[in-house]
Structure formats: structure tokens, C-alpha cells
Structure 1
């Protein structure tokens, strides 16, 4: 996949489960049939009124027609009023692409059983959004992520699902706005559990290059701790 959207919806209070049930039951298969890959959909563990999901496309050329097919099709027409009624805002969307040289989107399901066959704590998925202070800083930030963060976390059993950057080409489906004028890096990672994530966050603040890394950013990294819905492909 050459193009990936990270979509974050702010919902009316108490409406997230309504949207989750509707999305899982009605919106996954029709999007896939239109040529859209629904990569995963999630509840935000730190915001009861936020729904987060990712979808992918083979390229920008196929993105426009695929979106037109789904949003102009009968399934969306039948359910859009119910879906839209759950939302306060659906325009927090990042248009992204895999970082050159990365392995793209690697999201096989995670096992919830130990090697001995016993149930174990579910892993934690985290999407980290780094808003870069100018495109010239992007390469320095990327080096820190690949040369410091990923090796440190891999040693603790963390899997990088995707490393993404801003897709610079123009949004070719303007009916759905995306965030513009920003340079971001997004890392999606699977942690063995919440405790490992917490420990590594502390360790990174003492890692070589952390201070220089933070000077490349506009504000603090924006982390989303995510719990997959029942129908999510990524777990």
C-alpha cells in the first residue's frame, strides 16, 4: 500500500459503541469491495469519545475512484445519517505514505496466548504522531526513530507495525478533508503490555539524542493508546 489514512473522530458522548457496531457490521466489507483496505479500527483508551481507524490504498490514482465508489454506493447512503449522528468532528485526518525503505504496513494479528497455551495479557497498540518543525528536521527525527527508538523497543518485544510520513500530494477526494500544511511522522507499534509501554516511555527520555529529537518537534509527541474493536484486522 502506497497511501494510508489515519482518521480520528471526535464523537458525541456515549455514541462510540454505536459507531463501532455500525462500522464493524456494515462498513468494512463494502470498503474492501471498492478497493479500500480497512487496516484497523480502535477505541482510544484515553478518550471515551474518540474513534480511530486506518485505511489504505494502492496509490493516489486508485484512492479517488475507490472513495467515490464507496461514498456514492448504497451501503453508505443507507447508513450515513446514523453514522454522522454519532460524530462531532470527522476532519482530523492525516494523509500518509510508508517511509521510504520501511517495510510498509506489517499488521498480522497478535496472539493472546502464551507459548504454553495459557491466556496472556492483550498487547497494546500505540499510534505516535510527531509533528515536525519544518521539513528539514524530518530526516533527523526519522533517524532517531529508526536508530534509537526501534532498537531499544525491539529488545523489549515491541513490534513496529508501520512507520509513516506525510503524503505530499494533493487530496484527490476533497469531499473528505485532510489536515494540510503539516509535516508529520507516524509510528504504529505493538507493545507486549501496558507496563512495557510505560517503562519504555521513561527510558526514552534518558536515551542519547532525546533532547535533540524534541527540538525537531512542534510540541510533545501525540500518542494514541488503542484498543481494537471486535472487527479490527489489526490487533
Structure 2
């Protein structure tokens, strides 16, 4: 598949000191084995602002494929073998949004970088700004036009190499074993920068606060939740 039509944004809270343990397990055991049953591991990340946070993105061709892929993976031998070790690192794994691209072509996963081979340990370049904007109502055409015409140009002029826009998918969760945050409309913006310095330069320049935030605020139901994310060694989403 090219652009995933369904995407999970998964934000895990881990026990202190357990993030590298989970990442090592994930990068070794849970990438190719998920993709073998039709899912896409879009990228996985450390949160720079919270050393107990692991964030990753998983994509699907559609909701039927999501159910089939999740049933196959979580009912299969790899998860059965490693689930206790993975779950032992986690305090909470239910902070999950079920999303779809805000319009055709709005996703960030259509053209991947090369994924490092198993056993890789070097961190690839890039800083992913992932921001969840809680909305007063499901995203309207006017809001999506604002993303295309105002917000995305501000990010590109500020140095973003790739940008993705996603909104809540209203389809009921068809794999209830894994909860998602339903009935919470959000807009999710993903902006990939060369590095932390490039992202910081955008913040110092003030263009987002000046040109984007005021235009966006009428749609928001509360403060945005932002994450500065760096890719793990085997993330395909990197600069």
C-alpha cells in the first residue's frame, strides 16, 4: 500500500527506565512480523520531553484489513512469545487515536525512507513534531483548507521537510481488545524537520504563533498536545 487510509497514533507511558528496553524489543521483534500480516509500521519514536513516553504510528489499507491484521498478529506466535516482556514495560498503552488522512494525499507515510537492518543501533536523523489539536466538532472543509493554505506553508517556510495531516476516523473500533479514544474529534499535524535545531529555529522565528495559531484557535476545544519526537534506529519515518 502507498498512503495508509487508516492510521493509529499510539502514545505509551512506560515504567521509569523501561523505554530503551521496549524499543529494543520492538525494533527486533515487532516490525517485520506486523508487516507480514498486512499492517505498516510507519515510524516509532522517543519523546524528547518525557523519557517515559514511546510514540509510534501504525497504518492499514482499510478497517477490514485492520481487524484482520490485528487478529493475526496479536493471536500469533510472536506476540504470544514476547507480550509479557513488552507489557511489563508499560503503565498505559490505551492513549490511541484512530485517524485517517485529512484529504487524499495528506498522509505522511506514502514515500518511506529506507529502514535500517535488524540490529541497527544508530539513531537516524530527523525531528518529528507531532501535535494533537482537540476540536470542538469534527474537522470541517474550512479547517482543512486552513491546513492546506495557511498552516502547511508556515511549516514549510519554517523548514519542515514533510508534513502530514490526519483527523479522527469515526468508524467504530473493530478490534476492541485494543482501546482507542473514540468520540474525541482531533486534528493531528505531523511535521518532519532535519533536526532539533531546525525545529527550534521555527519556534524562535515566531511565524507559527503569529500566522497560524490565531487562525486555528476558533476550532479548538482545548490546548494542543505537542510532542518533539526522535526516531528509533529502525524507524522508516526520519529525515
Residue from 61, 64, 87 that aligns with 1:58: 61
Deviations 1:139-179 (A, max 9, x none): 34333322112112222331234211111101000000000
Deviations 1:189-221 (A, max 9, x none): 1113323323423221111x6324212112222
Q: What is the TM-score normalised by the length of structure 2?
A: 0.87
Residue from 11, 16, 19 that aligns with 1:16: 19
Deviations 1:100-121 (A, max 9, x none): 23343245339xxxxxxxxxx9
Q: What is the TM-score normalised by the length of structure 1?
A: 0.88
Which 5+ residue runs of structure 1 have no aligned equivalent? 111-120
Q: CA RMSD in A?
A: 1.8
CA distance in 1, matches of 2:236, 2:126: 14
Which 5+ residue runs of structure 2 have no aligned equivalent? 115-123
Aligned twin of 1:115: none
* 8 Å Cα contact 2:170/2:183 also seen in 1: no
Of 88-97 and 222-231, deviating more is 222-231
| Residues 219 and 107 of structure 1, relative CA distance in 2, 3 Å threshold | farther
* 8 Å Cα contact 1:138/1:216 also seen in 2: no
Aligned-pair distance for 1:51?
A: 0.4
Q: Determine if the alignment matches structure 1 residue 144 to structure 2 residue 146.
A: yes
Deviations 1:65-89 (A, max 9, x none): 1100000000000000010000000
CA distance in 2, matches of 1:18, 1:196: 29
Of 150-159 and 93-102, deviating more is 150-159
Residue from 156, 171, 174 that aligns with 2:173: 171
* 8 Å Cα contact 1:132/1:138 also seen in 2: no
